[in-house]
Amino acid sequence: MRKCSERELKMVEFCKSVVLLIACVAVLVSTEPIPVCESLKSPVNGLVQCSGNTSMLICNGVCNTDFIFDTGDKRITRECNSGTWTGYNFPRCIEDKCVEKQLKTVKDSQITVSSEWKGVIGYSFGPERARLDSSVTVGTDGIVQSGGWRAAVNTLEQYIQVELNEITRITGIITKGRAVLQGDTANEFVTRYRLLYSLDGQRWEPYSSETVNDQFLPGNTDNESPKVNTLACPFDAKFVRINPLAWHENIALRFDLLGCRPEGPNACRSQTTMKPVVQVQQTTTLAPDLCTAIPPPTNGLINCESQGNQLVCVSNCVDGYIFETKEILIKRVCQQSTGTWSPTPHIPSCIHNIAPSFNDTHGCLTTKKECHNVGNGDFHACGGCHFFASCSEGYLYVRACPEDLLFDAISSVCDYNSRTCPRNNLG
């Protein structure tokens, strides 16, 4: 047998090193950590249900009955792709009493401004473009409609104001910057502003909180994310004016007002009797919160909410699936002060469900489509008397009663004794 030449031996060694290098690169690539999407917690007085997996997650949030998000929305969806959220966390849930968006019934002619930028021929940056959801569009006349109002000059005298259809109690304001087309590098938004209001459009009062006269409000940090300011001291007005005090690049914004028709006297003290008070930064010591919501299994859902000093997560599989343990619902509890789960935070896999495993005699809900038949409210959840299902805006959120309590469908509360699922019926 012929011996290999020295040149051939070197070629073999080179090929070995190339193969080894490729293998190492493949190992490095395969072990590169994939960004993880973690489930979002429910806000106080709200519910969040998440589905998907650790790299792609969709969370739907609603507020409890008689509550609404402080943005004026009844339901909000957040999506996470490879660790990046489209709008992280959920807004606060506040009482659904006076948070209607006011500009939806206002005509364009009722929105006026101190000035309007006309620096580009064929473009409109007028006050009619200042509605919260305005985007860049092309009119029938070929005029490009800007995604927001922009002032002609950047000075402290600039303003935009709206004349409401009637005297309205204003409880909050939502602002955005100016929307632009993809590829446009403009990033224009107002970072601080003040509010003024009037009953006749002639005599104006600055908005003041209970502690600060002429309160300045924080604005936006980019041109697209909404910023909600809930007013600590609502006011009654027919005219409302926004006066920008600081901005990024140029004065430009979109907005809407939150409020309702006044019912009874305003709870805040009269603006004319206010005395100047120095604003004091208040600090509050919060209890530690070391628990992170569990991600849902594939083909499964999860809802995590705080109960006292615990984070309680309830998971269920989507229609047609069941946990590999044959359970319908799985509960996990985490102590907020220590971050300790009981039992472990692991959720079993969801597998195809061949036959139902929970024989229920009091009626229960298992799927989202059943919420369309019963409407909003709390009902028994298939899977055990310690659980209940909240139907809200067509979505079903499975929740756990506090320890040792059972759900009573007649009163729609968790109680020690349940008339619809008594203890002596528990297996």
- Are residues 189 and 150 part of one domain? yes
Is the model's pLDDT at 27 over the cut of 60?
no
Q: Is 287 helix (H, G, I), strand (E, B) or coil?
A: coil
Q: Which residue has the higher pLDDT, 305 or 273?
A: 305
Total domains, the chain: 3
Would you say residue 284 lies in a domain? no
pLDDT at position 199, please? 95
pLDDT tens readout for residues 240-273: 999 999 999 999 999 999 999 988 777 564 444 3
What pLDDT, on the 0 to 100 scale, is given for residue 366? 79
Q: How confident is the model at residue 129 (pLDDT cuts 50, 70, 90)?
A: very high
Residue 283 included in any domain: no
pLDDT at residue 22 tops 80: no
Mean local confidence (pLDDT), 103-114: 96
Q: Which tokens hold the place of 347? A: 């959720």
Q: d(Cα 410, Cα 427) in Å, to the nearest integer? A: 21
* Cis status, amide bond into 343, omega within 30 of 0: yes
- pLDDT for residue 289: 76
DSSP string, 280-328: ------PPP----PPPPPTTEEEEEEEETTEEEEEEEEPTTEEETTS-S
Instruction: Give me the chain's average pLDDT, please.
Output: 84
**pLDDT surpasses 90 at 114:** yes
Q: Are residues 193 and 66 in the same domain?
A: no
User: Which token pair is 340?
Assistant: 């300790």
Give the model confidence (pLDDT) of 154-192 as tens digits: 999 999 999 999 999 999 999 999 999 888 899 999 999
Position 277 scores a pLDDT of 32
Task: Report whether 289 contacts 44 (CB < 8 A).
Answer: no
Q: Note the pLDDT of residue 282.
A: 36
Q: Which residue has the higher pLDDT, 31 or 331?
A: 331
- Between strands 137-138 and 144-145, the pairing is antiparallel
Query: Does 134 fall in a domain?
Result: yes
Averaged pLDDT for residues 217-246: 94
Strand pairing report for 216-218 and 340-342:
unpaired
- Is there a single domain that holds both residue 165 and residue 306? no
Q: What is the mean pLDDT of residues 385-402?
A: 88
Handedness of CA 325, 394, 48, 310 (dihedral sign): negative
16 sits in which H/E element:
helix 6-30
Q: How many CA atoms lie within 13 A of 336 on its CB side?
A: 14
Same-domain status, 201 and 333 = no
Q: Is 304 found in the same domain as 360? A: yes
Residues 109 and 252 in one domain: yes
Kindly indicate the confidence band of residue 332, based on its pLDDT and cuts at 50, 70 and 90. very high
Of 58, 93, 128, which closes a domain? 93
CB of 78 closer than 8 Å to CB of 63: no
CATH number, domain of 183, equals 2.60.120.260
Last residue of a domain, one of 237, 264, 291: 264
CB 210 within 8 A of CB 268: yes
DSSP per residue, 153-168:
S--TT--EEEEEEEEE
> Could you say which DSSP state residue 285 is in?
-
Within a domain: residue 247? yes
Structural domain harbouring 182: 100-264
Does pLDDT of 402 surpass 90? no
Residues 317, 347 within the same domain: yes
Mean pLDDT of 196-209: 94
Determine, yes or no, domain membership for 29: no
Q: What are the residues facing 388 on neighbouring strands? A: 380, 399
Residue 274 has pLDDT above 80, yes or no: no
Residue 276 pLDDT: 33
pTM of the model: 0.56
Q: How far is CA 159 from the centre of its chain?
A: 29
- 304 and 382 share one domain: yes
For the cut 60, the answer to whether the pLDDT of residue 280 exceeds it is no
Are 254 and 148 contained in the same domain? yes
Are 330 and 368 part of one and the same domain? yes
290: in domain: no
Per the domain annotation, does 405 fall within a domain?
A: yes
Q: How many CB atoms lie within 10 A of CB 336?
A: 17
In a domain, 316, yes or no: yes
Both tokens assigned to 400 = 């756990």
pLDDT average, residue stretch 318-325 = 90
Residues 109, 239, single domain; the answer is: yes
Name which of 157, 159, 139, 137 is nearest 149 in CA terms. 159
Res 32 pLDDT > 80: no
For 421, what's the count of Cα atoms within 13 Å in the CB-facing half-sphere? 30
Segment 386-403 shows an average pLDDT of: 87
Domain end position, chosen among 59, 78, 93? 93
Q: What angle do CA 378, 384, 387 make, to 5 degrees?
A: 35
CA atoms within 13 A on the CB side of 414: 17
**Do residue 147 and residue 223 come from a single domain?**
yes
What sign does the CA torsion over 213, 214, 220, 226 have? positive
Identity of the highest mean pLDDT range in 137-141, 239-243, 288-292: 239-243
